Chains A and B, each alone.
Chain A
């Protein structure tokens, strides 16, 4: 759509600007302030420049948390994206069953994050949980509170349970936009199932799939509540991801300076990914407009 140039439109945007600025810019400035100062309480601050940043960049603790975070996000994407596509391809296309599937699949997406954690905490417990109990019965030595590997598996399965539906729903929406004529043409050409997927379905899904991947990346990169409820970051530090570490540092130990420096670097990563996301989206909009 052709847009008219009109700078008075700023007045329509103003309320949003005020509200979001109050919630975003003021806190961000506070963080920047902490990041370059040291304090011994009583609101007395000493300028320390980039010291906290240096400390954080070289800190093993941050490197470990970052390593765990990247590993976690990578595993999540590697499982959820193919699985989501596969589920979307197998969903009923219309009618009662399609509605039922949509509603049931969306259910985990609407559960408060800590309840998701609680569900899996209960479900996985060896004494009272269905999963833990049956695994023990079949001879697996499974205990997510003691064994780091078990804790990881639990957190990952929980995230797959929680968010795969999002990928599937987005891909399903992409698939729905493919006209039937495409499939008929493929049938005339006697295309294989793989060829149909590769040359018809995948290109049509590419846009939404990219959105799904970026959303999953961002959200898994800032995951906090679910693993915190299930494992509390443990055993040891084995499931302490970036957000958990940050909250521990800022609120648990009140190390404001390092935590703030950490926040800012965290935020810069987010900014970079947001920019990729934005570019992808605006390109999609342009293609749509053609």
Chain B
């Protein structure tokens, strides 16, 4: 007997989740005149002007490019440094390992607001202010610990005998790690990369503090343009819809690992 869920509850809950998103999409397909003058549940004059504005104006679409650049940089850095560390944590005990693990966790938990101002000064003083790498490094603060925790969770599932057999067969450590071990935890690497991507993508406070023009993320572009040009609601909604799309696309591939990722590999 599996206790069965009620479709009614789920339908109501999913409606609750989707109605605000529907309203955003709806508004992005309307003209500003229609948004402010009439109240319609579906756009009466379907228009793609709002999307056209974003996709043809460099000051808009460069926001997306900037975001994607620093998010990808961050994901690559985080996974590269986290892989060996997670291996060390899952296989060996060494001096101070528990303290180190705890310290990493505190960084995942620390509020970005505490770090915003010192980051600004740190990156200004080393000349990295308003570069993509600055945001990528700043996001490492919470993404590297996250990646270590998730990967460690996956690596513990790989029996140690595999390592030992490989060494007996004459594999060196780097060769074993790349050729044998990484394929075994490929899904774990995928999940960790996805979560790094995601947390870097949704973060605004640090990325906005560390950039002004050249590396300004789309999220910051949205907030400024809106206040300056007297509320262009349609374009704002369209920009919002475009930021949802990357997440919506990849979510399908990691749907069964979402819980594991959010729980730092501990489900």
Contacts and interface: CB of A to CB of B under 8 A. Distances in A.
Interface of A: 1-10, 12-13, 15-17, 19-20, 22-24, 26-28, 30-31, 86-87, 89-93, 99, 101-115, 118-120, 122-123, 127-131, 133, 161, 165-166, 169-170, 172-174, 180, 183-184, 186-187, 193, 196, 207-208, 211-212, 215, 218, 221-222, 224-225, 229, 242-244, 246-247, 250-251, 256, 259, 263, 266-267, 270-271, 273-275, 277-278, 281-282, 284-285
Interface residues of B, number: 98
A9 B223 contact: no
A114 B219 CA distance: 7
A231 B112 CA distance: 20
Given A1-B156, A15-B81, A86-B9, A119 B255 contact: no
B107 A20 contact: yes
B100 A17 contact: yes
Interface in B160-180: 160
Given A186-B1, A221-B111, 15 more contacts: A4-B92, A15-B81, A16-B144, A22-B137, A31-B118, A87-B13, A101-B14, A106-B255, A107-B18, A110-B244, A112-B201, A122-B233, A122-B237, A170-B262, A284-B266
Interface string B98-121: 101110111101111111111101
Contacts of B102: 274-275, 278
Contacts of B209: 251
B130 to A, nearest CB: 16
B10 A16 contact: no
Interface in B121-164: 121-122, 137-138, 140-141, 144-145, 148, 156, 160
B85 A107 contact: no
Interface of B: 1-3, 5-7, 9-10, 13-14, 16-21, 23-24, 27, 35-36, 39, 77, 80-82, 84-85, 87-95, 97-98, 100-102, 104-107, 109-119, 121-122, 137-138, 140-141, 144-145, 148, 156, 160, 198, 201-205, 209, 219, 222-223, 233, 236-237, 240, 243-244, 247-248, 251-252, 255-256, 258-260, 262-264, 266-267
Given A108-B17, A218-B109, A246-B113, A10 B94 contact: yes
A93 B7 CA distance: 12
Contacts of A278: 101-102, 105
A89 B223 contact: no
A10 B95 contact: yes
Contacts of A215: 262-263
Contacts of B204: 112-114, 225
